[in-house]
Amino acid sequence: MTHTFVAYVEDIPGVLTRVASLFRRLNINISSLTVGRSERVGLSRLTLVCEASSEAGDRIRASLYKLENIVDVDDIAQAPNVTRELALIKVAATPRNRAQIFDLVEVFRARIVDLTSESLMIEMTGVESKIEGLIEILREDEGRILEVCRSGKMTMRRGHHTSSVLKAMGKGPDEKPLPEEANDTTVDIEPA
Amino acid sequence: MGNKPNTQSAESHLTTPTRLTGAEIVWATLVGEGVSTVFGYPGGAILPVYDALRKFPIHHVLVRHEQGAAHMADGFARASGKVGVCMATSGPGATNLVTGIATAMLDSIPVVCITGNVSSKLLGSDAFQEVDITGITLPITKHNFLISKTEDIAHAIRYAFQIAQSGRPGPVLVDITKDAQQGTAIFDFEAAKPRPYRPHPMLKVEDAGLTKAAELIRNAKKPVILSGHGVMESQAMEQVRTLAERAQIPVALTLLGLGGFPASHPLNLGMMGMHGESWVNNAIQDADLLIACGMRFDDRVTGSLSTYATKAKKIHIEIDPAEINKNVKVDVALVGDLRAVLEDLLPRISGRDGSAWIKTIEASKGDVSVHDIKNIPDSGHLYAAHVMHDLWRITNGEAIVSTDVGQHQMWEAQYFHHEKPRSLVTSGGLGTMGFALPSAIGAKMACPEKEVWAIAGDGGFQMTAAELSTIVQEKLKINIAIINNGYLGMVRQWQEFFYDSNYEATPLVSPDFVKLADAHGISGRAVRTRAELAEAVKEARTCDGPFLLNFMVEKEDSVYPMIPAGSALHEMIRRPGKNPIVESPDDK
């Protein structure tokens, strides 16, 4: 099954190696990894996606916690969440066939962010399937796609902040998490 | 030992912030952490630190190979319960530590390793003796640090001590660049304190779990306690004993758990697993409840997982959440410090009658004693099992015994009965040959008043035999027993059982170990028959200095019983005798 781990890690050299090394040792492929600054000074937030057995999830989470530079770990693939990916796609396009791509971009709610006489760049945010849908259609014309750059998945639980560890450290916000049912009924306000 | 002029100033550093060099900060911090002994080997990138040693009240033991330094720190930690410290230079000095660090990691031993590295501007440049030791040791340390600023040294070392000892212990490496050692900074011991220890967030001992565990114990007809190394690490000997006695539950031990529950205790079954006696493993296979205390269901303990204790409910009390359901799926997991968990559990445990089950186990001992090597008549041949048995008797079982890995290690575990915790120093998880001699040095440095025996095979002994010089230089009274069968015995045994007795690369030519000892200024003698055994051991014990005994034992003896790797716990190979070789409870 797919596991999505969200972790707060110290923003210092070598931390990514420690995280990656844990998966390497278990011979598990990391299919997607995004890292960036979080809302907390000195802490980065990463989203890591991998395939592993359902029993492995707890052990991986426990092992991640054993890394000294990891402050908080959450496995949220099964929880109500919002997951997004950003893609930049450069396609070959001349003034003659641009219009067709403009239509596509419109349908997919993407944006053109760069335009030259031979090519243009599309920026698109959304769930994985939506990005893959656009790429697939662009691929129908051989040689059209010049470059694809995808950010990998970013994930956040729906509802209020629920990180128990940050709270235990006295750094978390005070709000109580919404009850599970409330989480379940929250709707995705941006259609995928 | 060098001169130690005015060490008073070294201690005043701990109370008054002072400007010191990085090298001085290393020692001052170690003093502050209570370190009195460091095992190490100097070299270019750690020289500033060595240069500053004379100002501090720390005894440095010069080893002959850095692997020895790591094993000594490890043996020191195992025998004392304190953190062991070793030191090496960059490059080959650091890589030579690796086997020792991995040994400590696999057995959860608190060791702090300090290595020098090239100056920070040369990092990553393939400079002379530069190696990425933090990269190399990343998977075999609990944590490691690369320090390139003088002002970060004290905090890193203090933090390393905290990590090494807390939770499930383990080794930590601090790599310090040469320029950081040479620079100066204000040393403020108090301010360098690490943030408070943060327990693993997945520790979980709930009331419901304790109640369920107590209920399982109350209703069990055939319970067995599995007692591991964690019993020592969390100092839960009393609590385990109380649980066993109050609820009348027999106790089986892991190799690293030996000594955690007295061998002479009527409820002690002995060691479980691959070379455990048949009644121990059969009791586990028949049990309806296993109470695992500070152990991790290693494959050497479980045999094939699909057939392991299938009738038993399992309670797992363990401090490392990553161990829960790793190998064996458990019914109740109490994830926390063993001692604290047992203290919460014990008030819920009342006396119960375990006599029927204990009698059943006792009865199963009778029919296996015919295979007991102790009962083999003296044929003029010397058996390793006799050596272990007699050593145990003659030393009253009170010595600290440090063993290598292989047949002699298993015979020691079977026939030397450990009464007290920290009396057996052995590499269980990694199975490191060459461990016995250096770890015995560490144990002796930690417990100078104790009798210490290093027991090694003729193969393993030669891996680290250079440390004989260290024993002499340090004037240590250590007795060495070499169980010499002319083979890499355990490998030969596997070849005999599983590879058609094709003894490829296992016959072993060795030097005359007594002469080798003599060349080091160590007395010794060879022992060829059981008749001379007691006298020889007595001579070793009464000799003022170190003593080496070369026991010329039966060449092709094997350790019995044995569960072939991957077989069920009850499918054991037995010592050839009256009964069929493979015997399981169903055969009876």
- Domain CATH for A111: 3.30.70.1150
Q: How many domains would you assign to chain B?
A: 3
Interface touch A168/B201, C-beta < 8 Å = yes
Q: Write down which residue in A78, A107, A136 finishes a domain.
A: A78
Tell me if B192 is assigned to some domain: no
Q: Which runs of consecutive H residues, i.e. helices, occur in B53-189?
A: 66-80, 92-96, 98-106, 133-136, 153-165, 178-182
Are residue A72 and residue A88 in the same domain, yes or no? no
Tell me if B345 is assigned to some domain: yes
**What residues make up the domain containing A144?**
82-150
For the stretch B554-563, pLDDT in tens is 999 999 999 9
Tell me if B246 is assigned to some domain: yes
Q: Does the pLDDT of residue A73 top 80, yes or no?
A: yes
Tell me if B395 is assigned to some domain: yes
Burial letters B500-525, b for 16+ CB under 10 A, else e: eeeeeebebebeebbebbeebebbbe
The pLDDT of residue B1: 43
Q: Is B81 on the interface with A (CB under 8 A)?
A: no
- Domain CATH for A39: 3.30.70.260
For the stretch A35-44, pLDDT in tens is 999 999 999 9
Q: Is B142 on the interface with A (CB under 8 A)?
A: yes
Which residues of B participate in catalysis according to the annotation? 66, 128-129, 178, 490
The pLDDT of residue A184: 39
Looking at the partner chain, which of B163, B201, B322 has a beta carbon nearest the beta carbon of A63? B322
The CA dihedral of B69, B408, B406, B310, to the nearest 10 degrees, is: -120
Share of chain B above pLDDT 90, in %: 89
Are residue B353 and residue B377 in the same domain, yes or no? no
Q: Is B149 on the interface with A (CB under 8 A)?
A: no
Are residue A106 and residue A63 in the same domain, yes or no? no
Q: Does the pLDDT of residue B581 top 80, yes or no?
A: no
Interface touch B324/A14, C-beta < 8 Å = no
Tell me if B401 is assigned to some domain: yes
Closest CA to A56 of B298, B200, B302, B326: B326
The pLDDT of residue A55: 83
Are residue B362 and residue B378 in the same domain, yes or no? no
Q: Does the pLDDT of residue A192 top 60, yes or no?
A: no
* Per-residue confidence band for B15, with pLDDT thresholds at 50, 70 and 90: confident
Distance from the A118 Cα atom to the nearest Cα atom in chain B, whole angstroms = 42
For residue B432, the cross-strand partners are: none
The pLDDT of residue A77: 79
Interface touch B146/A14, C-beta < 8 Å = yes
For the stretch B223-234, pLDDT in tens is 999 999 999 999
Residues A4, A74: contact at Cβ < 8 Å? Answer: no
pLDDT-wise least confident of A24-33, B169-178, B363-372:
B363-372
For residue A145, the cross-strand partners are: A91
Q: Does the pLDDT of residue B72 top 90, yes or no?
A: yes
The pLDDT of residue B377: 66
Are residue B311 and residue B438 in the same domain, yes or no? no
- Domain CATH for B166: 3.40.50.970
Tell me if A188 is assigned to some domain: no
A59 contacts in chain B (CB < 8 Å) = 322, 324-326
B139 contacts in chain A (CB < 8 Å) = 21, 25
ipTM score of the complex? 0.88
**What residues make up the domain containing B101?**
8-187
A62 contacts in chain B (CB < 8 Å) = 200, 202, 320-322, 324
Q: Which DSSP string do the residues of B178-217 spell out, in sequence order? A: HHHHHSEEEE-TTTTPPPPP---TT-B--HHHHHHHHHHH
The CA dihedral of A4, A8, A12, A17, to the nearest 10 degrees, is: -20
Chain A: residue whose CA lies nearest to B320: A62
Are residue B72 and residue B162 in the same domain, yes or no? yes
Q: How many domains would you assign to chain A?
A: 2
Are residue B341 and residue B467 in the same domain, yes or no? no
Mean pLDDT over B541-546 rounds to: 97
